[in-house]
Amino acid sequence: MTEFNTLIIAIGLASIIFCFIALKRLISYNKRFHLPESKYTKLFKVISKEQVGSLYLLLTIFSVISVIIFTISFNTYAE
């Protein structure tokens, strides 16, 4: 594995860790503030913060895995 690959994987891991920390803080906020949500308090009347959090986690993991696969595949391509 090249240094370039290692760097990409390290950035990807840091990205996932950052996402986990942000979501952990959101969960701790939810424990202290359980205000009754309605359609008037949601984003565009439909999107809740839990949905945004889930999307954030899924997209982070998906993008990191995609970039790592891409990096490994073009190294194979180069060889």
| Shortest CB 65 distance to other proteins, Å | 13
Q: In this structure, how many other beta carbons lie within 10 angstroms of the beta carbon of residue 12? A: 19
Distance (Å, whole) CA 23 – CA 56: 9
3-state secondary structure of 47: strand
Instruction: Tell which one of 7, 27, 58, 69 touches other proteins (CB under 8 A).
Output: 7
Three-class secondary structure of residue 43 per DSSP: strand
- Positions touching other proteins (CB under 8 A) are 4, 7-8, 11, 15, 18-19, 22, 25-26, 29, 32-36, 40-41, 43-44, 48-49, 52-53, 56, 59-60, 63, 67, 70, 73-75, 77-78
